[in-house]
Structure 1
């Protein structure tokens, strides 16, 4: 009887889960007469819903989902942190949840460890939204400040206590600002404060919000953010937050109770010690079919890999949308490689990304699609429901 073939996926984020699901479906759990044993290894005890990382800043919501609560079945889970990939011996070394060193053999390996939140320098102050614990801490702090404001007699200090600044105006920053603004208004009303006195500032270092979208969509988004209670300030480069004062590069300042940094993503720093070939900015080097250079049987997709369209030279961005398309193609590539057929080659999905955005604002949202020369924008509850449906599907919730 032929020995099982072991396929390990490192990383149980959105892209890792998609890769696991799609490879299982494409191969039907078999290749060349051998059964495939699927193993998922992740440092977390469950799937972290990064799309919803901002939610615990306003409500008690569990965004770490136990692996058993996912619709995915037919895989083993290993709770551990991968420390090294020995591509010569085809095994990974990892530290388990108890801190013990261990190793496991692989035949196929998919590295999908994703990205980490970029942190500012420690001397820049503020708080960085990196995990559910930080999100919960933010919620406790702003609610405590609101209670202080209810008893504060100095108008300037009361205004500062009910003001939050968010540095970074990407999609995560936009959604976080809207959720906080709406929650602060509700809290103000409950405490007998004027809900219109609460302020959330979205500080954007660029000249325009989301430069890749249409002007029609941008204007509608800013309008809807304003309804939530969010003020967008463009061309504002933040130097630091200190003692409740945000200082800008132009010399201006803004009194705040909390400054939240949301300044983008970097490839997972854990890649640095894994022994895989990396770019200067720390992403895995792969060919046009996601194969890791010099490591047979090893593939990498998602935020942690530098993926380029061989024909156009177009580089994929660090988004879940593009990572999901990569996972879909990877399943076909793995099957082709196992059967000795020519494998599919990566094609850029950027044109699709330029034509579609759906941003959640509380329970509602702002949807945009540009197709066939038409620029269509929709607001209200339906975009919010669509976004939640897509997020739940990406997290493979039951």
Structure 2
């Protein structure tokens, strides 16, 4: 293979850690000899953000953070720092380390796996955005105080009905009822509303699957309000764009993801949404030695024309495919391009329930109940490589 090749991976999210794992397998004989791999992240840990709602229902959530060195082992180097600049001509990056100084690192291949951040509702809209472990803990504390209050009813609204909103509603709803029983407050009337601005839940799945999910939510006492766009929460009222309102004790915003804001300063071609434009081999158009995968990229399946979604399953699939593309590039041939992940949904509906939907040959395969819940737990572990 010749001289040592340096691969730099920026980002220790789901795409980054799964790429590191895939590179270990692809280059297991060459690592430390002909291939040097460096992982860079501003944090020292990988955070399981898809399970952030666990910070509301569990007091101890230490397992949501995994040291990135655990993924690297002895074969991969880890540097804690933040990407500040890319110099494609020199094939170097500048990173800011903890003491504020800059380090310059040379690369033969650079992978940007900087992912996404949780969107935060504007502060003037009121309520609480679930964007961090700290915010989840704040929500937990406020809900527990509401449970202890003398009022006979607690009404919680969750504005945002994507997978995160649905899973949060189901998990928090179950937890609140259990906490009320523990406190001997069985008379507490707990109401949870999930606000959906569309015709049905999860537009990427068939309507009948959306209806089944909503049916299971109803069994948990969760009511879905369709075609309602939440605007602001003030004075214990959630106001909608149609000028109507809903009385509530607390509002949680779960308004989705946005590409990492740090991408704007790197001088790469971005979409209006802020994603890196890449070709079907995940290469940035400016330089064929720069790749990008995960939530931070706009990549299109060359066969179907479908753009990749922002999801863990896409991140894992792209990471595994990119490791083969990178090895092929080093060895002088071309590997298979991007392919959109198959139609699949795994969703948690509380601590002991879930739904799995897959579509193949136009046929829907559906599993729900405890087994589906266990599969969802398995997919969470799989995304973080079961650490």
CA contact (8 A) 1:42 1:78 kept: yes
2:16 corresponds to which residue?
A: 16
The 2-side partners of 1:243 and 1:45 are apart by 40
The 1-side partners of 2:309 and 2:284 are apart by 18
Deviation at 1:332, TM superposition (A): 1.5
Q: RMSD value over aligned CA atoms?
A: 2.1
Deviation at 1:264, TM superposition (A): 1.4
CA contact (8 A) 1:286 1:307 kept: yes
Deviation at 1:181, TM superposition (A): 0.3
2:51 corresponds to which residue?
A: 52
Residues 83 and 71 of structure 1: is their aligned pair in 2 closer, same or farther, counting only changes over 3 Å?
Answer: closer
Query: 5 Å matches for 1:23-62?
Result: 23-28=23-28, 30=30, 35-60=34-59, 61-62=61-62
Deviation track 1:36-75 (CA, whole Å, cap 9, x = no partner) reads: 1111111122110012111101112121112244485521
Query: 5 Å matches for 1:205-284?
Result: 205-284=197-276
The 2-side partners of 1:88 and 1:391 are apart by 39
CA contact (8 A) 2:313 2:383 kept: no
- Which of 346, 365, 370 aligns to 1:358? It is 346
Deviation track 1:309-359 (CA, whole Å, cap 9, x = no partner) reads: 23443211111112222112111111111111123222333xx22xx2121
Give the match's secondary structure for 1:396.
coil
Greater mean deviation of Cα atoms: 306-315 or 200-209: 306-315
Give the match's secondary structure for 1:30.
coil
The 2-side partners of 1:194 and 1:226 are apart by 20
Residues 79 and 219 of structure 1: is their aligned pair in 2 closer, same or farther, counting only changes over 3 Å?
Answer: same
CA contact (8 A) 1:41 1:78 kept: yes
Q: Which runs of 5+ in 2 are unaligned?
A: none
1:393 corresponds to which residue?
A: 382
2:315 corresponds to which residue?
A: 323
The 2-side partners of 1:109 and 1:243 are apart by 50
- Which of 184, 192, 196 aligns to 1:200? It is 192
Deviation at 1:90, TM superposition (A): 1.3
1:183 corresponds to which residue?
A: 175
Q: Which runs of 5+ in 1 are unaligned?
A: 153-157
Residues 179 and 325 of structure 1: is their aligned pair in 2 closer, same or farther, counting only changes over 3 Å?
Answer: same
The 2-side partners of 1:15 and 1:76 are apart by 17
Query: 5 Å matches for 1:262-341?
Result: 262-341=254-333
Deviation at 1:167, TM superposition (A): 0.8
Give the match's secondary structure for 2:285.
coil
Query: 5 Å matches for 1:342-353?
Result: 342-349=334-341, 352-353=342-343
In the superposition, the TM-score normalised over structure 2's length comes to: 0.93
Deviation at 1:113, TM superposition (A): 0.4
Deviation at 1:254, TM superposition (A): 1.4
Residues 187 and 71 of structure 1: is their aligned pair in 2 closer, same or farther, counting only changes over 3 Å?
Answer: farther
The 2-side partners of 1:255 and 1:40 are apart by 48
Residues 102 and 373 of structure 1: is their aligned pair in 2 closer, same or farther, counting only changes over 3 Å?
Answer: closer
Deviation at 1:390, TM superposition (A): 1.8
Number of equivalent positions: 384
